[in-house]
Amino acid sequence: MADNTPILITGASGLVGTALIQRLQQTHPGRPVHVLSRRPDEVERSIGGTVRAFGWSPSEGTLDHEALEGVGHIVHLAGEPVAQRWSAETKQRIRDSRTGALHLLKTACVGASFCPRIISASAVGLYGSAADIKTEASPAGRGFLADVVQEWEDAAVGLGNLGGGHVALRIGLVISANGGVLKRLLPIYRMGLGAPLASGSQFQSWIHIDDLVNLFITALDRQDWSGAYNAVAPKAVSQQEFSQTLAEVLRRPHFFPNVPASALRLWFGDAAEALLASHNVHPKRLLEAGFKFQFPLLNAALKNAVSH
């Protein structure tokens, strides 16, 4: 990344945003980073370095336009967590935090006659739930999450069409002990209480946090990258295999019966569908582009994550 123009990041305080900024500060300490946050003073104090934080509120349609000054790339990571009970209000927040935020950024860029390159998070939920292998050429699925992801990517395309271009990284389950689903699972599995969900036959596509951060940095650097890329390791695993492997890595027993789908639906409501979905996604375009995974296998990825 010889380019020394500032990078603007949304969702910087989340799991991926935090790891990305840390990596950028290590590998490109002189490159300025702008962050959009509802709590800019707090974020700037906590991150430090060359990071400058600016205020925004996608729900209110407000944005400090100074954040855009000189920016060459926008990395859009902001998004309301999906892993919660879905009410009509929650669903709207999930949608608006992704697409509404991009529309706000586009409006600001148009007003400033500004054409940045957009690198946006996306999700494998685009494909819906299916057992067959999905590549970037596979059609979108059906359902709330698939619709949200499609709108999310369409909004990224709209911003990229201003002239800077766009990349959308369709992210699977992120392997990191610092956040996400693994942080929630570790206390349970360390007590020897881990068990597969539902039948356990549903596929899970996953990626180690270090590989995901490398993907974002590569997408910032590679101007020839364009469109959607499946941000997942080359081999999806069944939920049964994921559960068993995590127990083995922690050296804990794995004998409890599967958690019934009905129990998950009772606890999470409609959001249980995200836990029960099957995603057998292949990173075809990444492999064709020559991207090298540090953690192509689940066992090594989990061992690395739980050792930190």
Q: How confident is the prediction for the chain on average, in pLDDT?
A: 93
Calculate mean pLDDT across residues 61-80.
Answer: 94
Cα 28 from chain centroid (whole Å) = 22
Q: What is the model's pLDDT at position 48?
A: 72
User: In the chain, which ranges are continuous DSSP H helix?
Assistant: 15-27, 40-47, 88-95, 101-111, 144-160, 180-190, 209-221, 239-250, 261-268, 272-276, 284-288, 298-306
| pLDDT tens per residue across span 175-204 | 999 998 899 899 999 999 999 999 999 999
Q: What is the model's pLDDT at position 84?
A: 83
Ordered domains of the chain (ranges, CATH): 7-175+205-232 (3.40.50.720)
Q: What is the model's pLDDT at position 30?
A: 82
Taking 60 as the threshold, does the pLDDT of residue 2 lie above it? Answer: no
Taking 80 as the threshold, does the pLDDT of residue 286 lie above it? Answer: yes
Look-up of token digits 């369409």: 154
Calculate mean pLDDT across residues 235-250.
Answer: 96
Both structure tokens of 17: 């945003």
Q: What is the model's pLDDT at position 4?
A: 82
Calculate mean pLDDT across residues 147-157.
Answer: 96
Calculate mean pLDDT across residues 88-108.
Answer: 93
| pLDDT tens per residue across span 15-53 | 999 999 999 988 888 889 999 999 998 888 888 777 999
- Which residues have CB under 8 Å from 65's CB, separation 6+? 108, 111, 112
**What backbone torsions phi and psi does residue 204 show, to the nearest 5 degrees?**
-125, 125
Question: In the chain, pLDDT over 70 holds for what percent of residues?
Answer: 99
Taking 70 as the threshold, does the pLDDT of residue 279 lie above it? Answer: yes
Both structure tokens of 83: 């892993």
Taking 80 as the threshold, does the pLDDT of residue 3 lie above it? Answer: no
Taking 70 as the threshold, does the pLDDT of residue 271 lie above it? Answer: yes
24 to each of 9, 36, 51, 213, how far by Cα in Å? Answer: 12, 17, 10, 9
- pLDDT level of residue 1 (50, 70, 90 thresholds): very low
| pLDDT tens per residue across span 214-236 | 999 999 999 999 999 999 999 99
